[in-house]
Amino acid sequence: MFTTLTPAASPLPSLDLFAAIETLKRDLNAVILAHYYQEPDIQDVADYIGDSLGLSRQAAATSADVIVFAGVHFMAETAKILNPDKLVLLPDLNAGCSLADSCPPDAFAAFKAKHPDHLVISYINCTAAIKAMSDIICTSSNAVSIVQQLPADQKIIFAPDRNLGRYVMQQTGRDMVLWQGSCMVHETFSEKKLVQLQGAHPQAEVIAHPECEEMVLRHAHFVGSTTALLNYAQQSASREFIVVTEPGIIHQMQKQAPDKVFIPAPPTATCACNECPHMRLNTLEKLYLAMKNRQPEIILDPKVQQEALKPIQRMLELSGS
Ligand code: 13P
Ligand code: SF4
């Protein structure tokens, strides 16, 4: 696909954005890391596309001077925490996350103070300030394994996603104190419409992200992180899948398994609210401009940045990297 930046969108003349981004990548010694929920053009120009754990591992290992993070703010923050001396760019600084927003630092500090003997495990979908108050960070792909590695009598606070927390409790048989946050996208799926869709596609497997509510997850044949869903869809003998996560990932599913059919699960309302409005703020044009202008840049409070590093490193150690 040939995407141009027209004079109406910018004072710049029309330009082949894919070629211009490739040139800037070489000039800046930059790497483009993208999440699966980004628009297809961004996924196609990225050096690496992955889930939050894969993206963190790539950020920790890169030798590039500049990291262009095509995802949301907490992901770019994580890359910056792992690379305090590198330039980390986010195409749109307003690309936030409802889940991260559902856990304000002051309220979380008071919550934590009520449970002084608890270890704090925070899902990576939180701000750097929350990470700095945490003992271990986890993602949807390693949360179960990290909790299983802790002593059975260890008391745990799990924040901020109540749905992932409940799922981890079910999988591990552990009790945890849950912060009551959630993702606006994954809570939008309709159980009723999902069941109707299954009726219309009886051969389809339902694959779902653990940020979904329990009433939706109980219809799933497989639950996992975005990368796990992608791998499952490729390896499964089934030819049809109902995908219960942000539909941006279907671009990669179709690329990697072109002979299979992927049906996005419908939201409750008649809207496109199964698309993450935060992730979709990034565009190929904004990505190009961020590289050209070397901004917007992620800048963090140095103390928060330093304190947030330890729990991320702990996660990487506990995840075998
Ligand atoms: P993963 O890609 O790590 O599964 O996370 C999904 C998500 O909601 C990112 O915001
Ligand atoms: Fe946050 Fe949900 Fe969007 Fe992921 S999909 S960035 S958790 S709002």
Instruction: Write the CA distances from 100 to 13, 129, 178, 194, 272, integer angstroms.
Output: 38, 10, 14, 27, 21
Q: What is the pLDDT of residue 270?
A: 78
Count of beta carbons in the 10 Å neighbourhood of residue 109: 12
DSSP state of 281: G
Mutate to test the pocket of ligand 2, among 246, 280, 281 (most ligand atoms within 8 A of CB): 246
Q: Is the CB of 225 under 6 A from ligand 1?
A: yes
Which tokens in the block code for residue 155? Answer: 């008391």
Distance set, CA 230 to CA 104, 119, 198 (Å): 32, 32, 20
Alpha-carbon span 86 to 282, nearest angstrom:
21
Give me the pLDDT at residue 271, please. Answer: 80
Count other C-beta atoms under 10 Å from residue 273's C-beta. 16
Instruction: Tell how far the Cα of 16 is from the centroid of ligand 2, in angstroms.
Output: 30
Where do the domains of the chain lie, and which CATH numbers do they carry? 17-95+278-300 (3.40.50.10800), 99-183+306-318 (3.40.50.10800), 191-264 (3.40.50.10800)
Q: How far apart are the C-alpha atoms of 284 and 164, rounded to whole Å?
A: 31
> Can you give the pTM of this predicted structure?
0.94
Q: Is 151 helix (H, G, I), strand (E, B) or coil?
A: coil
Asked whether 127 lines ligand 1 (CB < 6 A), one says no
Structure tokens that stand for 42 in this block: 């961004």
The atom number, within ligand 2, closest to the CA of 211 reads: 7
Question: Looking at residue 13, what is its pLDDT?
Answer: 57
Ligand 1: residue of 139, 223, 279 to mutate (most ligand atoms within 8 A of CB) is 139
Looking at the CA of residue 245, tell me the nearest atom of ligand 2. 5
Ligand 2: residue of 182, 186, 227, 274 to mutate (most ligand atoms within 8 A of CB) is 186
- In a 13 Å sphere around the CA of 179, the CA atoms on its Cβ side amount to 33
Hey, which of 187, 209, 251, 252 would you mutate to test ligand 1's pocket, going by the most ligand atoms within 8 Å of its Cβ? 209
Looking at residue 12, its pLDDT comes to 52
User: Which residue has a Cα nearest atom 6 of ligand 2?
Assistant: 97
User: Can you give the pLDDT of all 321 residues of the chain as single tens digits?
Assistant: 444 454 445 545 589 999 999 999 999 999 999 999 999 999 999 999 999 999 999 999 999 999 999 999 999 999 999 999 999 999 999 999 999 999 999 999 999 999 999 999 999 999 999 999 999 999 999 999 999 999 999 999 999 999 999 999 999 999 999 999 999 999 999 999 999 999 999 999 999 999 999 999 999 999 999 999 999 999 999 999 999 999 999 999 999 999 999 999 998 887 878 999 999 999 999 999 999 999 999 999 999 999 999 999 999 999 985
Q: Is 99 close to ligand 2, i.e. is its CB under 6 Å away?
A: yes
Q: CB–CB of 141/113 below 8 Å?
A: no
Query: For the chain, where are the alpha helices, taking DSSP H only?
Result: 17-28, 40-45, 52-61, 73-82, 98-101, 105-113, 128-132, 143-148, 162-172, 191-200, 214-217, 226-235, 250-256, 284-293, 302-318
pLDDT at res. 10: 55
pLDDT of residue 249: 98
Ligand 1 geometric centre to CA of 51 (Å): 6
Q: HSE-up of 84 (CA within 13 Å, CB side)?
A: 11
Q: What is the pLDDT of residue 6?
A: 46
What the block records as the tokens of 62 is 């890169």
Report the 10 Å Cβ neighbour count for 294: 13
> For residue 97, which atom of ligand 2 is closest to its CA?
1
In this prediction, residue 1 carries a pLDDT of 42
